Structure 1
Amino acid sequence: MVTGMPKYEVYAPLSEFEWPGSEAELIPGFWLRRRVQKPELRGLNAGLALDEQDTITMVDHWLEFQWTEAETPSAAEWVNLALLAFWLTKPTKAHATHRFQLDCGPPQGRLDRTSRLLDRFAWVPGATAAAFDDADVRSAGLYLPTLAGLCRARGRLNDALVLTLTGCWSHKWQVALICHAAAAEAILTYSTGPGITRRLSTSYACLVATTPTDRDTAFREFAALYGSRSDIMHGRTYNVPQSDRLSTLARFGNALRNLWRVVLSSQFALQALEGTDVQRQTWFTAHEAGYTPPP
């Protein structure tokens, strides 16, 4: 806990977030609230353009929490982690356009802040869910504290978080797919030796599936998706038909989402994957014992 630093009430309006509920405490002190009127922003919104003011007036739900200067995660990271928790639950169009920070100190000397969020979650047309239900919001609340812990640790899985977020923000399909692939690799890799596609695909399959048949299906899917990544990296984008590019990106997003869900739900996985390459390899070897991937 950081002491002696300014404390802020933080508000972030959620655009295109559909949920019939009124409020939910995702983690202690971190709220998702429906508001008929926007919160009192002490004039911070007055400097926004008219279309921006219209945007924050029309949204139904806001993220609301307190944050102390210099704490990790930062206020910006908390908003991003909450959006990522929603993304892990299901792909939607939800995104935040602004972040307002109201100084909780005495009126004299207050330093309120407004931030325009230019890095906004993108989505693949036709590959998003229409709305959240209460179970989805509860799931996001379960993911959020673990995501925050990874952010604080600044370890190997935080690299995967950053890459996942960057992929979610990217509006170019090649960039988004490369970032999703890099995020998956940051989670799964333990060696720089040859045969990386087969090695990653095997590790992925054994994490997200349990039966041999399901593992074979997962292996083939990841190998095909990673092949698209290689085509982009090596200047062979023409190998990915234009009509398939967005659907391939959506499939990679789903694969990465499934991978994160498994990792975040297992303390054993989290501990192993934050370890060294040797520790990772030992854990994956035990996890993959008895499975022979397709040729």
Structure 2
Amino acid sequence: DQVDTVKAIVDRRGVELKFHDPMVTMRLTHLRSQPVGQLRRNRELEGWALSREYRSTYRSELRAHEPIVAGEFVSIASLDDNNPIPISVEERIVEALQLQLGDFITWDVQGLPIETVVTSIRKIDWSQMQPNFFVVFPSGILEEAPANHILAAKAQGIEAITGLQGEVVKTFPNVSAINLSMVLESLKEIFDKVGFVVRFMASFTILTGLVALIATVLTSRYQRMKESVLLRSLGANTGQVRKIMAVEYFLVGGLGSAAGVLLSLGGAWAMTNFIFKIDLYVPWGITFGSIFLIGFLTLVTGMLNSMGIAKRPPIEALRYE
């Protein structure tokens, strides 16, 4: 048996076996006693879920990243019971086929029809780097069916990795031994390049915004002078005028950056929720820090631009009218 021999090779080399998943191909033939051919006319059901080839697995327990959200997982079953086999179905397939607990599904497992019943619904974290399956059978059902087997082992160092690959391929030429660290490294390089482009564009956008902000503050010098004249005429002293200007500049910068942050968070949430189907991670420290930083930069720029305005007497400012 190739699986046992490969496991023995992994164990002999002192490499940690992370997981082993058998994978059996099958197709859906009947849903709630109705043939799939008739169900394809039902526009409420997703066509891809009816016609796809399912690659299912079997195991006696579920993993931490696929918790049960409804029903109860049955770990062991038998074909000798003449009862429908209890299965666990992923929630997206449940939605696509409008399944409920207790629904009957008939599968064509490479020519052998198997009647099953939905006894549990799972939610899968698809971001995990391990095989995930829409349908999980209990142990005792598919062990004799032709299957592909996926084994993942964690080897430390390039020599251990290449040595394990070489021995597996030499022993079984039809077995594929893939170094996932190289795949992950290639993906990391791609994501790093994409991240650099995104950060560059973000930095360019921020720089452009700062230039526009500085230009706006500089062109508002005359307006600040008129406001200073009005405040001085009402009895405000130089210190009070400066405090009012400082609060105004900080609020303008802070509120503007807060509005930008809210818009960006809304766009990011929509993208992660509706496109990537993942949870949004928000670095709140950086988020609030950027709001404070933009407000502070606006304050500094505005106060530098307003130097001397608070000290000017009202009569001097009125000469420009």
Same fold (TM over 0.5): no
Point out the structure with the larger strand share: 2
Structure label with greater radius of gyration:
2
TM-score (norm 2): 0.22
TM-score (norm 1): 0.23
